[in-house]
Structures are given as C-alpha cells and as structure tokens.
Amino acid sequence: MTAVVFADLVGSTGIFERLGDDTASRFVTGFTGALTTTFEEHHGRVVKLLGDGLFVVFRQEADALRACMAIQTDLARSPVFPNGDSRPVQVRMGLETGEVVDIAGDCFGDAVNCAARLSGLAGPGQILTTQGVRDAVEPSLQQSLRSLGPMVLRGKSGPSIVYRVQWQADRDADATVMGRSMMARPAPGHCLSLTMGTRQVSLAAGGEPLSIGRALTNSLPVNDGRVSRLHATVEWRGDQFVLSDFSSFGTWVYLGSQTEPIVLRRAQCFLIGAGMMSLGCDAGADAAASVTFRVSAAG
C-alpha cells in the first residue's frame, strides 16, 4: 500500500494577477520547494510538481498524515505572504492510501485519483482523507480525524467515508473542562456564507439554522418554480454544517472543484470548503437557481 498526497496552493490565479507572472512564478517555485523539504523530512517522495501544487507518495500513511499536519501548522504559526501581498498563502490537501503502479517514476492508480479529488474538495487550510487512512494509522492520529460522513467522489462506484483532519487541536476540544458543561454550544470559529446574486446570508457555528425556499419567510427566498416552498435547510450539527433537502425535485451539490454533483432527494450532506448548490435541477439546466457557499474562519 502507498499513501498519496495532493497539495494545492489556494488562489494561485489571483497571486499571478496581483504580482505579475515573473514575481509570482519565483514565489510559487520557492514555496513549493519549501513544501518539498517538509515532505521529504517525513520520508515522502515528490512524484511531480503540478504548477501550483505537489503530488507526493509515502510508504507509511502515518508519515503522510504527519507531513500534511506539519505544513498546515507551520503556515498557521508563521504565515507566508507573497511579495507585497496582504493575504497569507493557504494550502489544501487530499490524502488516500491504496495500490499504486509506478512507471518510470510516475505513479498511477485509484488512490492517486482519489487523493486528487479530495484535494479539490478541501477548503483553504483543510486536509481531507478517507477510512482507509484512518484504519492504517495509530489511535493517537485517529483522534485527529473527524468524520464528514459518506461522499460520492467522481469515478467511484459507491460513496466513500471522508474525514477532515483536525490539525488545530485547540479549536476542537472534545473534553469537558472545569466550569464548562458538556452540553455547551460549540465554540464560535467558523462561518458558512450562502450567496445568490447580490443577496447573502451567513450562519455562524452554533447559530440558528437557515432555510432556503420559495416562501418569502425563508432566510434565503428563491423565486423559481422548480424550488419548493421549503426547499432545504442548513444547520450547525456537532462540528459541521449540514445541508438537508426537503424538496420535491432535489438539490444538486457541487463541492470544491468537482464537476460531478452529490444529488440530494430528502437526504443530507456536509458542506465543507466552498462550492455551489443548484436547487430543483442540475446546474446545467436553463436559468438554474444556484447558490454558492463558503465555509471560512469567523472574523
């Protein structure tokens, strides 16, 4: 078995637009070089550079997971700013394990494809992985994984159990401390934004649920005949934002850069990173009612 990591620089297009090709190219080259060093320190082999990202393989799943967590932790402690840019660099990562075919130094296989898709689903600063990785690492590392439930990854015959790696331990304390009830609401720290045209509504962690539908009483009213009066709700449950479909025609959810949707019909899914939902029809339908979403740190 081989552990496969895809690590992508978030917003690289904007960096090139703001800095210009020459300056941005030098920055990206130096930044991916620094990531390469960290991966190699954890016994990883960089298979190839992907312009603004890296494709890395490891013999041990634990080494791969620790390398990803080390990079995210370092970037949080010591933010990296492109030359003259006020926005720090963020990286998103996907990690899978499985059989990999090595041909002349390049690697192929289902695990490679899955890791790439997980990276595309991840939000800025996130690491997504699967049940196979969780089963392969020791209990101390398993405690850092938070289930997002089953997700349909493009090219897979069935759903995969996806996990978010909680590399910031202080933001996800499950233990009860003195003076705090176990029934207390989750500490604020994340916010979900829903945008449709010029309208935007937000849900903070622990906040009241939002409703989407044709009725004017909804948090986000949508005037479209394919949209039900109460089409869907979004709520904070446990430590994730959950979308629940109550509609007649369904909700198509596109996570990250994935083009293959999760189709909900009286079902639920977790909203992670950023993406789009199409209400009552596929996003490619004429004048589809589309709502974009983004999960980000509050403030």
Its CATH class, for the domain covering 190-297, is mainly beta
Q: How long, in residues, is the chain?
A: 299
Residue 221 DSSP one-character state: E
Q: What is the pLDDT of residue 140?
A: 94
CATH of region 2-171:
3.30.70.1230
CA 69 to chain centre: 15
Q: Which of 14-18, 42-46, 176-180 has the lowest mean pLDDT?
A: 176-180
In tens, the pLDDT along 107-129 reads: 999 999 999 989 887 878 889 99
pLDDT of 47 higher than 90: yes
pLDDT of 185 higher than 70: no
> Within 13 Å and on the Cβ side, how many CA atoms surround 150?
10
Domain range annotation of the chain:
2-171, 190-297
Cite the DSSP H helix spans in 139-252: 139-142
Q: What is the pLDDT of residue 290?
A: 96
Mean pLDDT for the chain?
87
Nearest to 163 by CA among 141, 185, 182: 141
pTM, entire model = 0.69
Q: What is the pLDDT of residue 260?
A: 74
Nearest to 282 by CA among 251, 255, 246: 251
Please give the single-letter amino acid code of residue 66: R
> Within 13 Å and on the Cβ side, how many CA atoms surround 173?
12
Quote the CA–CA distance of 57 and 216 in Å, as a whole number. 51
pLDDT band at 18 (very low <50, low <70, confident <90, very high): confident
In tens, the pLDDT along 191-247 reads: 999 999 999 999 998 899 999 999 999 999 999 999 999 999 999 876 788 899 999
pLDDT of 136 higher than 60: yes
